[in-house]
Amino acid sequence: MISACRSAVRSSLLRSALLALLLALAPLLAGCSGLAARGEEDTMKVLVWNVLHGSNDVDDGPEKALAVIRETGADLVLMQESYDIDGDRPLLGAWLAEQLGCSQWQGDSPHLCVLTRYEIAERFTHEPWHGVGARLVDDAGRDFLAWTIWIDYRDFITRALRDAPDISDADLLESEFVRSQRLPQAQRILARVEALGHTDGAVPLLIGGDWNTPSHLDWTLDTARVYLRRRPLDLPVSRAMAAAGFEDTFRAVHPNPVQRPGITWSPLFRTQGEKAQGFERIDRLYLHHPESGRARWRLEPVAAVTYPLVWEDDAIPVRERQFPSDHGAVLIEMRFVETATGE
């Protein structure tokens, strides 16, 4: 028992030392205030991340979230669950913006935040729980639109299939629009950006967030053969995004869902009660290309990765985890591509 205690102490000290090192190196790592000198003017990095209750569920959570963002070198963070920090500091997004020397837009949303080193030229809102957006201008004067979103978590479809493996396809799909409101909420987000002219303009449009449902690009015949609790189904939320002209940026870079599953749910909780968790890619970034003939530039996904790069041992208590969220973060690197007028 003494040996086990010593081992636990050494493990705890090692994790504390790692956090201290990350924070000490933070000014040297790429972050909002440090990216202008990278010499990569034609690329940007977009991080989509649900930070879980303002990162309050783990010790030093906000500081750990800050270290993750700096490690990724994100130019833009589309954040969910930007809550107040332990009730005695500002909303997490506002605190992170102060630490990074960035701008942020959360408006009246209780948890959605656009955090960026770029200029926020215009601000947009939808339903406070479901959508906040902005028009951003990069260092070269190129503008684009970015929305952070969140939709209904209830009746997670993978969990529904786990609990009722013989459920029919039709009944299973009702998880998306009967037993939850994910599809109607996604449709209202699409209606809002369309009404604002964001889908037929001359600049790219990004919509990223916590969709709380997998993609039809991941529920295929091949993945159903490999992974538990999958079926080849046209899942309606991701289908609605595709029908509206949006490209799934992670799948644009990694088209094979067997080889690159991109799972973001859940590195923190491997089980729910005594049952295995339903592991899925529920955090996604979508890109709508500008209208042909009007665009002076477009965005092209060139790299994609999920964080944490290595999941921590599930035996580590939640409070002691280094990665402070139950959602993995998705980092998409995108390149600005100039287009000829009248393309």
Does a cis peptide bond (omega within 30 degrees of 0) precede residue 308? yes
Q: Is the pLDDT of residue 233 over 60?
A: yes
Supply the pLDDT for residue 175: 98
Lowest mean pLDDT segment, chosen from 94-103, 153-162, 268-277, 326-335: 268-277
**How many whole angstroms separate alpha carbon 47 and alpha carbon 69?**
8
Q: Is the pLDDT of residue 39 over 50?
A: no
Q: Which residues contact 202 (CB under 8 A, 6 or more apart)?
A: 290, 291, 294, 295, 296
Supply the pLDDT for residue 76: 98
Burial class (CB in 10 A: 0-12, 13-18, 19+), 163: exposed
Q: Is the pLDDT of residue 3 over 50?
A: no
**Average pLDDT, integer, range 180-197:** 98
Supply the pLDDT for residue 276: 87
For residue 23, give the nearest of 342, 327, 339, 322 by alpha carbon: 322
Q: At 272, is the pLDDT very low, low, confident or very high (cuts 50, 70, 90)?
A: confident
Average pLDDT, the chain: 89
Supply the pLDDT for residue 149: 98
Residue 326 φ/ψ region, left for φ over 0, alpha for ψ in the -120 to 50 degree band, beta for the rest: alpha
Supply the pLDDT for residue 23: 42
Task: Catalogue all structural domains in the chain, each as residue range(s) with its CATH number.
Answer: 2-338 (3.60.10.10)
pTM here is: 0.89
For residue 268, give the nearest of 11, 16, 5, 50 by alpha carbon: 50
Query: To which H or E segment does residue 297 belong?
Result: strand 297-307
How many whole angstroms from its chain centre is CA 36?
23
Strands 246-248 and 283-288: antiparallel
**Average pLDDT, integer, range 97-112:** 97
Would you say 70 and 115 are in contact if contact means Cβ atoms under 8 Å apart? Answer: no
Lowest mean pLDDT segment, chosen from 26-40, 79-93, 150-164, 306-320: 26-40
Residues 115-162: tens digit of each pLDDT? 999 999 999 999 999 999 999 999 999 999 999 999 999 999 999 999
**How many whole angstroms separate alpha carbon 245 and alpha carbon 289?**
8
